Amino acid sequence: MTDQNHPDTGTARPLGGLKIDLGTNVGSPLGGIPTIDGAPAATTPLAGSPTTEAPGGAPTETKVLIIGSGPAGLTAAIYAARANLEPVVIAGSAPGGQLMLTSEIENYPGFPEGIDGPELMRRFREQAERFGTRLFDLDVDRVDLSGRPFHAWARGKEFVGQSVILATGASALWLNLESEQRLRGRGVSACATCDGFFFRDREIAVVGGGDSAMEEANYLTKFASKVHLLHRRDGFRASKIMIDRAYDNPKIEVHTNTEVAEVLGEDKVEALRLRDARTGQERTIPMEGLFIAIGHRPNTEVFRDWLPTDEKGYLVPHHHTASRIHGVFIAGDVADHRYRQAVTAAGDGARAAIDAERWLESEGIAEHATQTAW
Ligand code: NAP
């Protein structure tokens, strides 16, 4: 699960100045994804009791060190904690992952009425803490996976794990236009959930043709007077139900074969220069906000010296959730660009915790017979 920059805090800022530190990782959300390199932030702090300590001091040691606090990391924590492995989670400064930037989730089993992403992650965290998981809301800067025990450093604090589960998710992608980056936080965002509120009665645009773009466009119609959905092709990646929902929404206007050439405005978004992808013809339309929903990149930078990644930068598990380094396991969107669902990430977290426990047991580090705890 996106990258992340963040909305800073969720404190409502007057749109007048449109100083919206919109995020980043999100796009990152469960970007919130825990952020590894500067990432972003979650809008709503997770409830519970984030364990944050002053940097430095004695290393924090554990049998299972989990990096990442989205559905994968926190499910791994729940399983490891119930197996008496006393896990430690380095949760990122924007804990909770991409779901922190998601509005209503309708497809997570067990919630027939739907549930807000931040609320779901609050419950994950509460459940992990209930069984004794310690969480640190810090970003990992560096790891040493050369041998057991493994080491990680987060903002000056050292962590030592007999095993490690990597569950850092993925972050939002950007168009990478100079004007887009300059106006990030000033009307350009990758997180509708975080920033939609600021665009009440405004005319805004969403870029993308996948489920994220459809979902964000629909969500933003709760606030905006009109939402323009801009997609560079005439075919969509989104599921049919999501496309239909967008076309059926009277506040959404769909523009296919449309690229954003430039975001116009000095201190805030004022207009978009759009280009017809077939003819190259350009036009400028007034716009007060732009949401980017074009996919994600995996948060794997700090692991790249240690583990192989695929052509898209995702980690590649070696056998089930095990990496090619004995004792290092992989879970969730950091290795998954196919499914990328909260429920599949959570399932991966459970698998990784079970694999880690069995490995610790085989190494004589964990006691046998915790399997009844699953
Ligand atoms: P996605 O499916 O990869 O779609 C990304 C979209 O952005 C594509 O339409 C792509 O265009 C466009 N795009 C990529 N780079 C672009 C660029 N530089 N400029 C303009 N457009 C660009 O990503 P996603 O929508 O984030 O979805 C990711 C996964 O999460 C999917 O499996 C999706 O089903 C799932 N998801 C599910 C839900 C839900 O069920 N509620 C909600 C959100 C996401 P092209 O098509 O031309 O490549």
CA–CA dist 134, 30 (Å, integer): 19
Q: What is the pLDDT of residue 85?
A: 96
User: Active-site residue 336, yes or no?
Assistant: no
pLDDT in tens, 92-139: 998 998 888 666 788 899 999 999 889 999 999 999 999 999 999 999
- Give the closest residue to 209 by CA, choosing from 173, 239, 180: 239
User: How far is it, in rounded angstroms, from Cα 117 to Cα 193?
Assistant: 9
> Can you read off the two tokens belonging to residue 129?
């803490």
CB 107 less than 6 A from any atom of ligand 1: yes
pLDDT at 56: 62
**175 CB less than 6 Å from ligand 1?**
yes
Superfamily of domain 60-171+296-373: FAD/NAD(P)-binding domain (3.50.50.60)
Query: How many other β-carbons are positioned within 10 Å of the β-carbon of residue 176?
Result: 8
CA of 197 to the centre of ligand 1 (A): 23
Strand spans (E) along 173-233: 188-189, 203-207, 226-230
Give me the residues paired with residue 204 across strands: 227, 289
pLDDT score, position 105 = 81
pLDDT in tens, 260-308: 999 999 999 999 999 999 999 999 999 999 999 998 899 999 999 999 9
Q: Is 348 a catalytic residue?
A: no
- For ligand 1, is residue 295 a contact (CB within 6 Å)? yes
Task: Identify the pLDDT of residue 24.
Answer: 29
Q: What is the rounded radius of gyration, in angstroms, for the C-alpha atoms of the chain?
A: 21
Q: What is the pTM of this model?
A: 0.71
Q: How far is the CA of 175 from the centre of ligand 1 (A)?
A: 13
Distance from chain centroid for Cα 54? 25
Number of Cβ within a 10 Å radius of residue 57: 10
pLDDT on residue 100: 82
207 lines ligand 1 (CB under 6 A): yes
Ligand 1 midpoint to CA 186 (Å): 23
Give, using CA atoms, the residue closest to atom 30 of ligand 1.
Answer: 340
pLDDT at 338: 84
Candidate list 21, 137, 191, 348, residue with the active-site label = 191
SS3 labels along 110-138: CCCCCEEHHHHHHHHHHHHHHCCCEEECC
Give the number of other CB atoms < 10 A from CB of residue 345: 31
Helix, strand, coil % over all residues of the chain, rounded to 5: 25, 25, 50
**Does the C-beta of 155 come closer than 6 Å to ligand 1?**
no
What is the structure's pLDDT at 66?
A: 98
Rounded to an integer, what distance in angstroms lies between the CA atom of residue 238 and that of residue 249? Answer: 16
Quick one: angle between helices 117-130 and 71-82, nearest 10?
20
Catalytic residue of the set 21, 194, 333, 348: 194
Write out residues in the chain with pLDDT < 50, as ranges.
1-50, 52, 54, 369, 372
Helix (H) or strand (E) holding 220: helix 211-220
**Does 237 contact ligand 1 (Cβ within 6 A)?**
yes
Q: Ligand 1, closest atom to CA 239?
A: 34
Q: Which of 115, 211, 275, when mutated, tests ligand 1's pocket best, judged by the most ligand atoms within 8 Å of its CB?
A: 211
CA 59 centroid distance within chain: 27
Domain ranges in the chain with CATH number 3.50.50.60: 60-171+296-373, 174-292
Among residues 195, 333, 336, 355, the one annotated as catalytic is 195
The yes or no reply on domain 174-292 and CATH 3.50.50.60 is: yes
Instruction: State CA 317 to chain mean position distance.
Output: 20
194 is catalytic: yes
How much is the pLDDT for 191? 82
- Comparing CA positions, the residue from 217, 299, 225 lying closest to residue 34 is 299
Which candidate, 168, 222, 181, places its Cα nearest to that of 189? 181
3-state secondary structure (DSSP) of residue 345: helix
